[in-house]
């Protein structure tokens, strides 16, 4: 499976943010999306998720068949989790599964999903409003795992986790990437280099795939930083 973006353009009044993005993402890889603040990473995600209208075309290519990228193809994990705080964790998962059951495959029990995310038994029946930021982010990750979209957009999803939980999430994402396309936006270069198979820069409104071949870890970091510095002066 591939997702192909063709000439994606997005302007906000006179500000040109995406200037004809052309790129192909492939199943089985985690893509690290890096860019300066304001480069348009969230704008690109919102265009792919159909939250923003944009010019250009987006396709899914699977088994040689090409079709338009639609909302159901996308899971979008925001950096600020949005959960119904008046529900308990168990009520939220139960409700989500019930209303989406016709679109879900291989549905497990709610407790199986909690176990997958290493959620303590005492936390499962607590109100979501009493969850920490990291626990709320876990819940948002979990509903997208249940939904099983073709493409998972991850906007700074690991920054609220402690070291142990972040490592658990990394292992989970690597497992998911085998059958999905994962695009991981982060400001933390070391995290991107540790987790991701490919590094993509959003620079001057376009995507650029960086080739690490021939580079040491340190020289690859230096190249990324230099390219981002160059963007500041363009």
Res 79 pLDDT > 80:
no
Q: Strand 15-26 and strand 206-210: pairing?
A: unpaired
Mean pLDDT of 203-216: 90
Mean pLDDT of 205-226: 89
Res 187 pLDDT > 90:
no
For residue 49, the tally of other CB atoms under 10 A from its CB is 16
Q: What predicted TM-score, i.e. pTM, was given to this entire model?
A: 0.88
CATH node for 2-84+150-233:
3.40.50.300
Checking 109-114 for CB contacts under 8 A at 24+ apart, the result is 113/142, 113/145, 113/146, 114/89, 114/90
Q: Per-residue pLDDT tens for 102-157?
A: 888 888 999 999 998 889 999 999 999 999 888 888 898 889 889 989 999 998 87
Interatomic CA distance for residues 55 and 133, integer angstroms: 35
CA 66 remoteness from chain centre: 22
Percent of the chain with pLDDT over 90: 57
Res 225 pLDDT > 50:
yes
Q: Supply 128's token pair.
A: 């979501």
Model pLDDT, residue 44: 96
Res 166 pLDDT > 80:
no
Domain boundaries, the chain: 2-84+150-233
Q: What pLDDT band is residue 233 in, cutting at 50, 70 and 90?
A: very low
Model pLDDT, residue 232: 55
């Amino acid at each position: 499976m591939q997702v192909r973006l063709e000439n994606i353009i997005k302007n906000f009044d006179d500000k040109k943010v995406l200037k004809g993005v052309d790129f192909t993402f492939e199943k089985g890889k985690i893509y690290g999306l890096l860019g300066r603040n304001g480069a348009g990473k969230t704008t690109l995600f919102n265009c792919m998720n159909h939250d923003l209208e944009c010019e250009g075309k987006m396709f899914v290519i699977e088994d040689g068949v090409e079709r338009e990228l639609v909302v159901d193809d996308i899971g979008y994990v925001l950096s600020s989790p949005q959960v119904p705080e008046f529900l308990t964790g168990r009520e939220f998962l139960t409700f989500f599964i019930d209303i989406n059951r016709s679109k879900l495959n291989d549905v497990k029990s709610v407790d199986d999903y909690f176990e997958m995310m290493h959620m303590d038994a005492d936390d499962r029946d607590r109100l979501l409003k009493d969850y920490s930021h990291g626990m709320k982010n876990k819940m948002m990750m979990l509903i997208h795992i249940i939904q099983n979209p073709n493409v998972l957009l991850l906007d700074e999803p690991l920054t609220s986790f402690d070291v142990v939980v972040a490592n658990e999430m990394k292992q989970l994402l690597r497992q998911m990437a085998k059958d999905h396309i994962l695009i991981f936006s982060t400001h933390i270069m070391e995290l991107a280099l540790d987790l991701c198979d490919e590094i993509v820069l959003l620079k001057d409104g376009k995507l650029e795939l960086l080739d690490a071949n021939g580079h040491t870890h340190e020289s690859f970091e230096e190249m990324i930083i230099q390219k981002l510095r160059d963007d500041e002066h363009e």
